[in-house]
């Protein structure tokens, strides 16, 4: 099972970079949906054997992260009638380079951490990379929907990290976390909808009235 889990983790990293490099909003959402599928499959790949709670968790994750949330984000895009991101603060080349640096840092840090065997030793570095790239997307993009996608990636990375503790932390807790993320993104999406209505655009760069 480990090679399949490794493959899933590598594909997750590739989808991170896909979000970093593209300017088409629907492509970003598709990449995150793809990530959701992979994340849903990972508990089953890491702990083979169909324990009930693993199956429920996997199914729930896939439904929420690969089904409901991307559908909701696509609805938000349709409402706002936006298709492409304009050139972000940092620029796509610089974002890609930042992502590559984050990749190197994550793997370097992971080798320094005292990791006990957890099924695959790619899990922690990939989690760190996804968190960092999620942060990069969240802070450097100007369209609010992409910031929500960045937040989703950040949460995905943390979820990956939680998978290292899957056997020990009862699944009730993982479900709780999943639902919280779901509600969080939901509310953010609604706010984006309101932003679009109010400002006629979902560029967060317009939100500059409040300052000292």
Q: Is 132 in the site for other proteins (CB under 8 A)?
A: no
C-alpha 210: how far from chain center: 29
What SS3 state is found at 64? helix
Which residue's CB is nearer to other proteins, number 89 or number 180? 180
Which span (9-17, 37-45, 60-68, 75-83) binds other proteins, by CB under 8 A?
9-17
Pairwise CA distance, residues 1 & 86, whole Å = 42
What SS3 state is found at 143? strand
Pairwise CA distance, residues 76 & 193, whole Å = 6
Residue with the two structure tokens 């690969």: 66
Q: Is 24 in the site for other proteins (CB under 8 A)?
A: no
Pairwise CA distance, residues 45 & 6, whole Å = 9
Q: Which of 1, 55, 89, 97 binds other proteins (CB under 8 A)?
A: 97
Residue 79, both tokens: 């409402």
Q: Which of 103, 123, 145, 146 binds other proteins (CB under 8 A)?
A: 103
Which residue's CB is nearer to other proteins, number 18 or number 37? 18
Say which DSSP state 84 is in: B
| Residues of the shown chain interacting with other proteins in the complex, contacts defined by CB under 8 A | 2-3, 6-7, 10, 13-14, 17, 21, 92-93, 96-97, 99-100, 103-104, 107, 111, 113-114, 121, 131, 135, 138, 144, 147, 151, 154-155, 158, 161-162, 164-165, 167-169, 173, 176-177, 180, 183-184, 187-188, 191, 194-195, 198-199, 204, 207-212
């Amino acid at each position: 099972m480990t090679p399949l889990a490794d493959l899933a983790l590598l594909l997750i990293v590739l989808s991170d970079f896909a979000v970093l490099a593209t300017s088409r909003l629907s492509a970003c959402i598709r990449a995150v949906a793809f990530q959701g599928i992979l994340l849903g499959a990972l508990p089953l790949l890491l702990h083979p054997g169909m324990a009930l709670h693993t199956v429920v968790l996997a199914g729930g994750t896939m439904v929420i992260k690969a089904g409901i949330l991307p559908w909701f984000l696509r609805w938000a895009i349709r409402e706002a009638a936006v298709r492409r991101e304009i050139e972000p603060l940092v620029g796509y080349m610089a974002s890609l380079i930042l992502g590559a640096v984050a990749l190197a840092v994550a793997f370097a840090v992971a080798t320094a951490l005292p990791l006990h065997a957890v099924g695959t030793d790619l899990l922690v570095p990939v989690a760190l990379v996804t968190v960092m790239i999620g942060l990069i997307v969240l802070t450097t993009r100007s369209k609010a929907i992409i910031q929500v996608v960045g937040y989703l990636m950040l949460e995905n990375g943390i979820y990956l990290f939680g998978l290292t503790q899957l056997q020990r932390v009862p699944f009730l807790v993982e479900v709780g976390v999943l639902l919280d993320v779901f509600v969080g993104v939901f509310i953010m999406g609604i706010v984006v909808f309101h932003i679009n209505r109010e400002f006629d655009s979902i560029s967060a760069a317009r939100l500059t009235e409040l300052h000292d």
